[in-house]
Chain A
Amino acid sequence: MNAPYRARLNREPSAFRKAAVPIASVLAGSLTPLLPIVASAPVLPPFGLVILICWQILRPGLWPVWAGVPFGMIDDIISGQPVGSAVLLWSIILIALDLIEQRYIWRNYWQDWFIAAACLIFALAGGLAINNFLVSDTRLSVLYPQMILAIFTYPLVLRLVARLDHIRLKR
């Protein structure tokens, strides 16, 4: 066979890229609190979690169910939540997503969005509940803007993740 055609046949995406792109994207999402935003209220959506949920919905089974533990650990160190809160909440969310994946196989876009919204609300309210349990009480109403922002971030991030998936599987 001629050399020019050889390169185009029987190609596989790079194994490194296949594994690294999703991990890097979630970590990049977790790093958003390092942006120079000095906010006096929680406003930034939890991008790490949104990206994690998007990957899990777009490519179920991409990660094992326990992926929430390492990702959550890194997110906790950066986000300012007490360490362990994202480990717990993200693990629960990934287990729930896995169960949903088993039970409700044919879902449409809106149902996915609804599931993601429920997960995000659970994560934000859970984070607040953990803070309230550990130190002091803050009202849930403080989180409403962040929740709304996070829910409407989901479709955009899903687009982004789909684009990243193309890059990931490019041959």
Chain B
Amino acid sequence: MAPPRKRRPGFSRKAQLQIFTGYLLAFTGAFAGLLLLALSYFDPTAFSAVRSMTAEVTAPPARLFTGMRVGAQDGWREVAAYFEAGSKNAALQREAERNRIRLIEARALKQENRELRRLLGLIKQVGRPVATARLINSTASSSRRYATLDVGSRQGVQRGQPVRAQRGLIGRVLETGPNTSRVLLLSDAENVVPVRRARDGIVAFSQGRGDGRVDLKLIDIGVNPFKVGDVMVTSGNGGIYPPNVPVAIIEKLTTDGAIGKLLANPAGTDFVIVQEMYEPELADPEASGLPPANSAPAAPLSAPRKPARAGTDAAPAAASTAPSPAPAETAAPAPGEPPQ
């Protein structure tokens, strides 16, 4: 193949300058990219307006496509259900029998749980559903894991609200537009969720690995108590996520924890539920002598900033497990200490 074009376009000064300017602009552009990255670093919400506007504009076709996708999936499931219908029916009937007994047991346990909670003076606030919606698309080509939800602030969705599917937790709302919002999925490396083992309440953190699985990190370092097949649920510590929502099932053990597979696969869920932010509160904070929370937990970059009053909800949860003498110190400093 012959050289497609000459590098040096004759003696024309103008043409030579054009090439030079092209290079200059390209390098300037690369540098501008660096500056934009610095801006994204220092202010992660800098471009959220542009992003949500794009999401708004592209939402209607995405909704249509999602509807078609779900329709196709459902149709295929219907067809597949005709095969093995007889044996499946029998198996399901057996399972229904077993579940009926378990359901009765569970009801009794629920009642008992309620009684015990009342004794402890805890008010259980289960996140009220805000909206039911579909995930219409996701950042499938980026290493960050965001998804777009087809409801927004007009439907009452706010930043920081947890998003769950029937089978388990999906993530939390990061940015909202009028009719769409951006969800940080559980498998994103930035999404840290306090969890506990469903069986006995061993506390851990779940952090996304970026590939649809999560790292489960033990808080209490020691002998690894995890077993393959353990189910982790949210603990409700620190607010945002309501307790007892299934998160992951342990797939593989590591030296300091485990790797878990997410229970709610965002790709396989039809509808998701946006819930109100969970705010664990004691029945009477003054009476129990708990410290007033004045410090919100350190949030990672670009994590949703909580509304002003939410700063007071996170600390009681931590404090309820280990009441600290902090308020006494802040209220009355030690005599020798200089006032700050």
Contact = CB atoms under 8 A, between A and B. Distances in A.
Contacts of B39: 83-84
Nearest to A131: B143
Interface string A98-118: 000110011100000000000
B219 to A, nearest CB: 18
Interface of A: 31-47, 59-61, 64-66, 68-69, 72, 76-89, 91-92, 94-95, 101-102, 105-107, 124, 127-128, 130-131, 134-139, 141-143, 146
Given A40-B267, A82-B37, A84-B36, A45 B29 contact: no
Contacts of B66: 36
Contact of B142 (A35, A81, A94): A81
Contacts of B144: 80-81, 131
B32 A69 contact: yes
B4 interface: yes
Contact of B22 (A41, A47, A65): A65
Contacts of A38: 135, 137-138, 140, 147, 266-267, 269
B5 A60 contact: yes
B283 interface: no
B56 interface: no
B13 to A, nearest CB: 18
Given A131-B144, A134-B37, A83 B47 contact: yes
Nearest to B138: A38
Nearest to A59: B4
A59 B22 CA distance: 17
Interface stretch (B109-117, B206-214, B223-231): B206-214
Given A33-B142, A102-B7, A136-B300, A41 B137 contact: no
B143 to A, nearest CB: 5
Nearest to B189: A136
Nearest to B191: A136
18 contacts: A34-B62, A34-B137, A36-B69, A39-B266, A40-B145, A40-B211, A42-B211, A46-B141, A65-B22, A65-B25, A66-B29, A83-B40, A85-B33, A85-B37, A91-B27, A124-B143, A127-B143, A138-B210
Contacts of A124: 143
A138 B36 contact: no
B189 A146 contact: no
Contacts of B145: 40-41
Contacts of A76: 36
Contacts, number: 199
Contact of A68 (B4, B29, B189): B29
Nearest to A92: B30
A131 B3 CA distance: 39
B106 interface: no
Contact of A60 (B4, B27, B30): B4
B169 to A, nearest CB: 13
A143 to B, nearest CB: 7
Contact of B37 (A43, A47, A84, A91): A84
Interface in B196-228: 207, 209-212
Contacts of A92: 30
Contacts of B47: 77, 83
Nearest to B35: A84
B210 A36 contact: no
B17 interface: no
